[in-house]
Amino acid sequence: LRYVDDDYQLFTFILGCFPYNAISHSAQHLREFVNKILEEFKLQLDSSKFVVTDNEPKMLSAFREKCTRIGCADHYLNKQLQHAFESDQIHLNKSIIEKVDCELAQNVFRHVKKIVSSVRRSHQQQKLSRKLQIYSETRFGGALIMLDIFREVFFQLPEVLINSKTMNDFNLIDKELLDEICDFFGPFQ
């Protein structure tokens, strides 16, 4: 819970951690659960209150009324990163689709991902100064970690990839571009 007083001082409170073990995980039950907890503290949601959630349809529905729901910035950033590295097109709204023009970055990402997946399956990773990390589909910010570690061990990789099908992928990676991508996304980690 965050509260800003009349002097614009920010106060942060943790009301507690409450297990949610309702039979139904519907939006209605979730909202009732939250309302019940808030009532225990003599609090309630109204139009002056903001709720930060992910963008799951259940959350959109649960906090549609008597409060202002704000999507989690981390989820928005993750989605934008995912589009930049993996999407050919993006829906701006229901009727407008725009081409994602990140071909160079997407090629670097695709080659890095292929190499990281291959090296992680082999015993060759032991030869590297750092363990390569693959990203999680649900937390795309991990892609930045994957790229950063890859960049760090970049010059160690030829020894690990020798006689490997992924050596071609390695040779197609522009190290300067990889550095620029990592530097650009550094503040988002």
Is residue 109 located within the same domain as residue 67? Answer: no
Per-residue DSSP letter, 187: G
What domain range includes position 179? 103-188
- The verdict on residue 81 lying in a domain is no
The residue ranges of the chain whose pLDDT is under 50 are none
Is residue 108 located within the same domain as residue 169? Answer: yes
Is residue 57 located within the same domain as residue 113? Answer: no
Q: How far apart are CA 141 and CA 146, in angstroms?
A: 9
pTM score above 0.95:
no
Q: How many domains does the chain have?
A: 2
Q: What letter represents residue 34's amino acid? A: V
pLDDT of residue 88: 84
- The verdict on residue 153 lying in a domain is yes
pLDDT of residue 123: 83
Q: How far apart are CA 178 and CA 174, in angstroms?
A: 6
Indicate the residue among 23, 48, 71 that finishes a domain. 71
pLDDT tens digit string along 31-66?
Answer: 999 999 999 999 999 999 999 888 889 999 999 999
- The verdict on residue 50 lying in a domain is yes
pLDDT of residue 23: 85
C-alpha torsion sign, points 121, 125, 126, 127 = positive
- The verdict on residue 95 lying in a domain is no
